[in-house]
Chains A and B, each alone.
Chain A
Amino acid sequence: MTESVDRKGQRKALRRALPQLAKTRALLDADEDLVVYECDGLSAYRQTPLAVALPVDAQQVQQTILACAELSIPIVPWGAGTGLSGGALAVADGLVLSLARMNRILDIDYDHRCVTVEPGVTNLAVSHAVSGNGYYYAPDPSSQIACTVGGNVAENSGGVHCLKYGTTTNNLLGLQIVLADGEMIEIGGAALERAGYDLLALFTGSEGLLGVITQATLRILRTPETAQAIMATFDSIEAAGGAVADVIGAGIVPAGMEIMDRLSIEAVEDFLGCGYPRGAAGLLLVEIDGPSAEVDLQIGAVEACLRQAGATDLQHATTQEQRQRLWAGRKAAFPAMGRIAPDYYCMDGTIPRGQLATVLGRIEALSEEFGLRVANVFHAGDGNLHPLVLYDGNKPGDLEKAEELGAEILKLCVAVGGVLSGEHGIGVEKRDLMPCMFTDDDLDLQEEIRLAFDPGMLLNPGKVYPQLRQCAEGRTHVHGGRRPFPDLERF
């Protein structure tokens, strides 16, 4: 049997097994319909799926999962496809299970300060739905306008306010999940604790390997009474990093703290002209929120810390408009890279804050060694570093070089006591680096848990856990003509 005949047969079998989806155009298998599902935010990897299902409710999700289990068709859950680690990358003989049509806000409960939504609701829609009453949903990944709550839970998404307000896992009260065997499970709700083991924690950030989320109950917070921000200029990154430690040492937990390096500042100024200090070695943005009396005091203390740490210039934003202007540059940092390089590859390691200067020094050396520029933006509050490796995809070998450099940076993060991924997830992108962070025993246990939930490895196969358990020494795993993911087609 040829491959295409097999695909045809599987598609036919799916249509037969899911007549309701098929007749409502909720089961797509024509090549032209599948194009948009061939990659997520990590566009270097592409794969056209066998078919795409777009269920409208949890029962249809159950039917789809049962049909796939019966036909041994692997399932890749899909939110908005904004993920940056290839966590939603299709598999050739698999079904993409898109939750996009399950996009209703089911309940807003101010007494318990929570909102229950279907998985396809976007992150920002949650805040929009409650902002009129003075509430918001804290996790704010940069893709929040498009990314979905289901994807946020699967990836344990963060954003720029994680030190103070946590990531998705700290802002989640309940889930409804369909497991690989089609069983639907409800965990948690308006009460603060749950019976049994903390499955909510285990499911959050499990990258679609343990179950498909069909409903989530999110904790919402009162919008702070006020917020103020300060932008400080430094003539060395070390000084900016030192200032962060001083602020925390002064007993202050800012809502956000962001560092940008010289190259990022230049790129943003070229792009937006938002008044960032050209030529400065480092820029630190600090935002304080809370009751106004408290914020006034703390912002004064922050200012003192920044001066003490050697800030050469301070800009203080007290109005919402001024504050948004200060943040505009930081928020445009990624698109701004397009002005100074044809392509960039965004990395996502977390490091202990105190290692910032060391890590940036090493990145600079690596950058020279590889002949590729690296711009750095850093969620300094929570230690999440996003080095942006600049390259030219049209130059043969440049992408591979960028990936090698990226892998070296992540190994460096682990070596200084950090982790492989802060918020983008492991996906396919970093799965082969997992042995750099975990021992065989660590990984064995995790995979045994995965098998306990999904013995047939039906859900999102090929993600997170490495096929070959070896932390490649140096860069040997990508040299000698071998690419890191030989089984994946790339562009």
Chain B
Amino acid sequence: MSQIAQPDDATQLASIVEAAARTQTPLLTTAGDSKWDWGRGLADTVHNDRSLGHSTPTQLNLSALSGIVDYEPSELVLVVGAATPLAQIEPLLTEQGQHLAFEPVHWRSTATAGGTVAVGLAGPRRFRAGSVRDFVLGLQFVDGKGRLVRSGGRVVKNVSGFDLWRGLTGSFGSLGLITEVCFKLWPRPEAQCTLLFERPQLQAASRTMLQLAQRQEEISGLAYVPTQGVVARLEGSASALQAQTETIARDVAVDDRLPHDESCTLWRALREVESLREKSGTLWRFVVPAARWVELVGDLQAQGIEDYHVDWGGGQVWARAGEDLPLKGHEIAAGVGGIAWRLATNRQDTNAEGMPPLDPGLRRLNMRLKDACDPQGILNPDAA
């Protein structure tokens, strides 16, 4: 039986980690538990070879580290406790006409700010606006020795010291346990619409996407949905959207135009990978050079995979493999110069192939960073 602890605040968390480092007790953290299927198998990728297999892990519930610490709309800055639910943050920002521009992926309704940063998964706008780490200005976290550390700040331009705040983003709680996050905010566009381009042929779809991606309009989402075609989201002032649409239509025939509400629904569904997650099977995520997604999809189709969609202007592909199909996802990704993630299918799934593999040199470097931040290897070693 593993122990369960729920620290009241960051200081208490720090002393728990310090004690765990002394006894080499692995710590497994959750707050909203919305992405339990992500990041497993990390141990196989970056952890050192020190075996912690014999110690009983402590489960740390961090949900007390919650709350809005500071919100200054005119500074475009939000500071929150790591366990603050996105469901609390997003309405607050909407009220002020602002948002997290990387479009956090919720996955489940309990998603938190800290989890969002720890997983580092951005939505469709990543293709234009940047990833989670591009909107993190600073972090407070507890390192593997139990030190409560700050890195970064509350300002956009900051070159004071190593950039650990971005370095920790996407590290799945294995370099430090995030206790507080400072986000850079962005004004929420007043309106959006989506242009649809029917493209039954994949090559034609790819060409259209590359062509659209190189345009000057504010295309903030660019995806290919096999049942629909190429979809491009335009954002901005309600009155300027029409002008942007017309400029595009002069060069590329537009087959349909989804107004604001329908557009919102479409991109929310794409962000949450709804249609693929509803079905059973194994979900894979591929990130590839944007011009090569057709090759990737061809390779997947050769394996019998037909359920997929393409996001980020071609740079990200989500695909669902049937339950009885062992997919060599990492090999397929590498074949087109990309990387892949596999999602755990259930809580017993150890998901050894969960994370993209690292070549030996990079793996050594990752391990050196891990060792520096967590010398005892106790932070989320993924003992599952």
Contact = CB atoms under 8 A, between A and B. Distances in A.
A binds B: yes
Interface of A: 110-113, 134, 155-156, 158, 162-163, 166-167, 169-170, 179, 183-187, 189-199, 201-202, 204-206, 222-225, 245, 248-249, 251-253, 290-294, 296-298, 350-354, 379, 381-384, 417-426, 430, 434, 437-439, 441-446, 448-453, 464
30 contacts: A156-B159, A162-B157, A167-B157, A170-B134, A189-B337, A190-B337, A191-B337, A192-B127, A192-B287, A192-B290, A195-B362, A196-B356, A197-B167, A198-B120, A198-B133, A198-B166, A201-B167, A205-B162, A205-B163, A248-B76, A291-B244, A292-B243, A293-B239, A352-B77, A419-B160, A438-B150, A439-B150, A445-B373, A452-B369, A464-B161
B363 interface: yes
A382 B157 contact: yes
Given A350-B155, A419-B153, A194 B147 contact: no
Most buried by B among A184, A197, A291: A197
Interface stretch (B27-35, B103-111, B210-218): B210-218
Contact of B161 (A113, A223, A252, A434): A434
Most buried by A among B156, B163, B186, B244: B156
A222 B211 CA distance: 12
A442 B149 contact: yes
Nearest to B155: A350
Interface residues of B, number: 86
Interface of B: 45-46, 72-77, 97-98, 120, 126-127, 130-131, 133-134, 143, 147-151, 153-164, 166-167, 169-171, 175, 186-188, 190, 210, 213-218, 236-237, 239-240, 243-244, 247, 287-291, 312, 315-316, 337-339, 355-358, 361-366, 368-373
A77 B214 CA distance: 36
Given A185-B361, A297-B240, A352 B72 contact: yes
Contacts of A422: 155, 157-159
A449 B176 CA distance: 13
A357 to B, nearest CB: 13
Contacts of B291: 111-112
Contacts of A197: 46, 167, 170-171, 175, 366, 369-370
B289 A201 contact: no
B288 to A, nearest CB: 6
A379 B155 contact: no
Contacts of B149: 439, 441-442, 445
Contacts of A156: 159, 163
Nearest to B97: A251
Contact of B290 (A112, A163, A384): A112
A192 B362 contact: no
Contact of A294 (B210, B237, B358): B237
What DSSP secondary structure best describes chain B's contact surface?
A: mixed
B154 A196 contact: no
Given A185-B365, A350-B158, A224 B315 contact: no
A445 B290 contact: no
A426 B161 contact: yes
B372 A448 contact: yes
B72 A451 contact: no
Given A191-B337, A352-B77, A438 B287 contact: no
Nearest to B121: A193
Nearest to B234: A291
Nearest to A111: B291
Contacts of A442: 149-151, 161
Given A198-B169, A293-B243, A446 B312 contact: no
Contacts of A384: 155, 157
A155 B70 CA distance: 29
B295 to A, nearest CB: 13
A354 B131 contact: no
A222 B214 contact: yes
A226 to B, nearest CB: 9
Contact of A162 (B97, B151, B156, B355): B156
Contact of A222 (B131, B169, B216): B216
B75 A291 contact: no
Contacts of B160: 419-421, 426, 430, 434, 437-438
B372 to A, nearest CB: 4
Nearest to B77: A352
A364 B131 CA distance: 40
Contacts of A185: 361-362, 365
Given A113-B213, A202-B162, A422-B159, 11 more contacts: A112-B290, A185-B365, A191-B287, A191-B289, A195-B45, A195-B339, A201-B133, A291-B240, A379-B157, A383-B155, A449-B372
A423 B159 contact: yes
Given A297-B240, A419-B153, A195 B358 contact: yes
Most buried by B among A162, A195, A198, A222: A195
A453 B368 contact: yes
A195 B337 contact: no
